[in-house]
Structures are given as structure tokens and as C-alpha cells.
Amino acid sequence: MAITAALVKELRETTGAGMMDCKKALTETNGELEAAVDWLRTKGLAAAAKKAGRVAAEGLVGVAVSGTSAAVVELNAETDFVSRNDDFQQFVREVANLAVAAGGDIDKLKAASFPGTERNVEEQVTHMIAKIGENMNLRRSAAISVQQGVVAAYIHSAIAPSLGKIGVLVALESAADAAVLEGLGKQIAMHVAATNPASTSVDDLDPELVEREKSVLTEQAKESGRPMEIIEKMIEGRIRKYYEQVVLLEQTYVIDGESKVKDVIEAAAKSAGSPITLKGFLRFELGDGIEKEEKDFAAEVAEQLKK
């Protein structure tokens, strides 16, 4: 029987297995749909569909650097145990490397061929779900690069090289010595991991965030009963303080607790004899923004006993 694209699609929707696995199942069973479902079940490849609804908020953040480009990815699983699985760790590394080539574009990344298989990355995620036995999700990916200089990487709470709970990339554009830039970039990345800035510079800061802050500060200042001209000056001063809290270049450098980040970079540039520009940064924190399901353990056990 001819294996049509429509038949492969139907089997994929039924089982949740990867496209290449569905095609192979149909080939092995002469196009018999039910037999193909059973074939996938015996291989453990149809299990992914049942796991797809479970919350995946654990996992790993991975970073990869290639020349003057780098990428960071977040791949989630259901439990922290999976993050210590060698196969899962290697998978995240491979995905991070592929993300560099994809320029951080999540759709391109999912469609990219996964090395050593006939599957793409998205299909390989499904394959890994079946293999490891937990729901997984390639949640996000981003990349950054420079024309000249370095992109420094830092992993906080590292479980293995390039893998952990927080991943940071810092891009420094400069003709200065690469070793000097790497050292500076790593320290700034550590700073970013600790402070989680909202933007690189004041100009990059989301105008909505600024307006929201101004609105709050205005209402607070009005309660003081002072004249409007005084209130406006109060707001200006408080907005400057706000920039120092959320803008990377304006923040106090956590390494020395005194200098502003922009002054540290300026001093490094003077010492290196070449201008250094902080082009940007990326910071991924595992599970950031995911609503985790809180379950009572005793209730969960009781629920399982009822089955």
C-alpha cells in the first residue's frame, strides 16, 4: 500500500509521534493504520501524546558560542531529575548549537535537521519524550552576535558545561584583545545573572515601562501636596533612580559594588587602548513566566491509589 502524506499526518495526529517515526511505522505495517499505531506503541513512540498535557517547567537552559555568534535556548521537562539525565543534557547541547546556525529563530530551529537522525528538531523533541518518559517543550531560543569582538557566556547554577538554570550572553563589540574582552564579558554576564536588567541602555528601555513608572511616581508625589513644578523635579530624580535599577549600563556593578557598569566598560576600554561597546545581552532563566501546578503530595498519592 502506498504511504501517503495524508496517512502519515493522520497517524501523527493520532499518536503524537514524530513524522519520520510515523512514516517508518506505516512502512513496516504496509500502510495499516491500526497496526502502525500498535507498532509505535511497542516502540514506546506513541506515549508522547499522553504526556503532552503535563506541565513542563523544569529542564535546562543551554548556551552555545561559535566564533562571534552565540545562542541560548530553554528546553523544559516535567521534573528536575531529567536535567541530570545524560541523554537530555546532550540533546540540549545539540539544540543550542543548532540555535546559533538558526540565528535564534525558534521556528527555523524546530525545522532544522537533527544530527544523526532523519528527524528535525521538533520531531526529535517528540522522540525524546517517548525515550525519557516526560513531557518536554522547546520553549524559546535567541541569538546575539558582533562583527568584531566576543560574545561571552555564563551559566549560573551549572549542572554541566554550558547547561544550567540561568544562561547569560553578553556581546562586546571591540578590536581589543579577545582574552581581555572575554574576561570583562564574563564578569558583566555574572552581573546580568544577578540583577536581571530590563534593557542595555536607557534608549533601549521599553517606553511603556517608563510611562508606568512615571504614572506611579506622579500619584505618589501628588499625595505630598507640593506644587506641580516641585513634583516634576521629584519625578525626574526618581526616574533617574529607576534607570539605575533596571538599565544595565546605569546599574551599580555587583563585582565592586561602587562603579556603574558603563564606567567599568569605559575604564576597560582605556586600559585596552580600544573602544568597547556593550552591544547587548540575553538572559534566560529556567521556567521564567511558566505557571507551575502546585499539588499536595499526600493528595497526589491518594489520587494515584484510586486508579
Domain extent, residue 252, equals 207-276
146 shares its domain with 170: yes
> Does residue 293 sit within a domain?
no
Answer whether 119's CB lies under 8 Å from 45's CB.
no
39 shares its domain with 64: no
233 shares its domain with 173: no
150 shares its domain with 281: yes
Q: Residue 66 — left, alpha, or beta (φ > 0 → left; ψ -120 to 50 → alpha)? A: beta
Cα–Cα dist 171/105, whole Å? 18
Who's near 132: CB < 8 A, 6+ residues apart?
A: 77, 82, 85, 87, 88
The pLDDT value given to residue 143: 98
The number of domains in the chain is 3
127 shares its domain with 172: yes
Q: Domain of 108: which CATH number?
A: 3.30.479.20
Closest by Cα among 20, 51, 40, 177 to 114: 20
83 shares its domain with 216: no
219 shares its domain with 156: no
Beta bridge partners of 93: none
93 shares its domain with 169: yes
155 shares its domain with 281: yes
62 shares its domain with 156: yes
281 shares its domain with 161: yes
Q: DSSP readout, 37-94?
A: HHHHHHTT-STHHHHTTS---EEEEEEEEETTEEEEEEEEESSGGGGG-HHHHHHHHH
pTM for this entry: 0.77
71 shares its domain with 40: no
Label residues 101-118 b or e (16+ Cβ within 10 Å = b). Answer: ebebebeebbebebeeee
The pLDDT value given to residue 57: 72
The pLDDT value given to residue 292: 59
Question: Tens-of-pLDDT digits for all 307 residues of the chain?
Answer: 678 888 888 887 777 677 788 888 899 998 888 888 878 766 666 555 555 556 567 999 999 999 999 999 999 998 889 999 999 999 999 999 999 999 999 999 999 999 999 999 999 998 898 888 888 999 999 999 999 999 999 999 899 999 999 999 999 999 999 999 999 999 999 999 999 999 999 999 999 888 888 888 777 777 777 777 787 788 888 889 999 999 999 999 999 999 999 999 999 999 999 999 999 999 999 988 776 555 454 555 455 445 4
